């Protein structure tokens, strides 16, 4: 293990869509979803829609079949495998749910590359209905993050703090983190990254817009990406940089990593290389 922990958001980061919307649309529940959306929190809404789909005769197999068709960029798959093979500890931190995430990762043979999946728990009840619960039980009380960008069921910043404490307690001392995400919920963890860490926001998505409002609030270097190719190149470049800076001997590298350019930094923000507008 290299001492590098890579934390991935899932929706619109590992896969290129929102898994909740993908299932809702794929199983014909879009009208119901849109009608209920103003009336309840998102996490509760997805659980409610799963109940209605079950009542309509949709099975777990039907849900999994739709999930297996969710688009994932081959470059993202390659990046996950390459980072793992370079010795990184890979984690998922997502506001989706365990059933959706595991179904997709299993389909692509990726589940074993991740040491941990942090997300909203799911279970199948006695009737065979998929139940989705909140990561944080907001009915019992708030999670206590006052930032204003975290949903009531999950503060990713708090979860990231726990991941860091757990990873460093497992041995090897200080870890360097690379965080990849796209949504508003990924802003809180970006503020908790240390100076030696890296934030990889998806350019043009909510977390990128929030970061751009005041980049000086982040201690970590910010390296944006816009598509799977950018993600792969940027992530492997940063992993390689950490390995060099930490004095670890690099294993044989894929030629794509060897040829990656150095990122220039200007005014505390790296100049995006090869990022499409």
> Which residues are part of the catalytic machinery?
9, 11
Measure the CA–CA gap between 34 and 160, rounded to whole angstroms. Answer: 31
H or E stretch covering 65: helix 60-68
Say how far apart CA 102 and CA 108 lie, in whole Å: 10
Distance of CA 87 to the CA centre of its chain: 19
Cα separation of 272 and 137, whole Å? Answer: 39
Q: What is the dihedral of CA 19, 25, 30, 34, to 10 degrees?
A: 30
Sheet architecture: strand order including 4-8: 114-120, 89-97, 4-8, 176-181, 198-201, 221-222
């Amino acid at each position: 293990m290299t001492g590098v922990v890579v934390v991935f958001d899932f929706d619109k980061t590992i896969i290129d869509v929102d898994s909740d919307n993908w299932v809702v649309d794929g199983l014909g529940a879009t009208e119901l979803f849109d009608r209920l959306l103003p009336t309840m929190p998102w996490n509760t809404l997805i659980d409610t829609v799963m109940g209605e789909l079950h009542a309509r005769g949709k099975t777990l197999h039907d849900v999994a079949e739709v999930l297996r068709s969710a688009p994932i960029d081959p470059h993202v798959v390659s990046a996950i495998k390459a980072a793992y093979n370079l010795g990184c500890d890979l984690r998922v931190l997502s506001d989706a749910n365990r059933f959706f995430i595991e179904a997709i990762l299993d389909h692509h043979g990726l589940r074993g590359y991740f040491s941990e999946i942090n997300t909203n728990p799911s279970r199948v009840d006695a009737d065979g209905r998929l139940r989705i619960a909140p990561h944080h039980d907001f009915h019992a009380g708030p999670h206590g993050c006052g930032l204003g960008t975290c949903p009531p069921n999950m503060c990713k910043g708090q979860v990231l703090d726990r991941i860091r404490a757990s990873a460093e307690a497992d041995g090897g001392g200080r870890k360097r983190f690379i965080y990849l995400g796209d949504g508003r919920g990924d802003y809180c963890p970006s503020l908790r990254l240390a100076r030696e860490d890296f934030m990889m926001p998806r350019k043009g998505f909510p977390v990128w817009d929030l970061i751009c409002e005041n980049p000086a609030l982040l201690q970590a270097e910010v390296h944006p990406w816009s598509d799977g190719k950018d993600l792969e190149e940027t992530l492997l470049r940063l992993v390689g940089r950490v390995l060099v800076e930490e004095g670890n001997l690099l294993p044989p590298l894929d030629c794509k990593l060897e040829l990656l350019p150095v990122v220039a930094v200007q005014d505390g923000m790296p100049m995006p290389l090869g990022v499409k507008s």
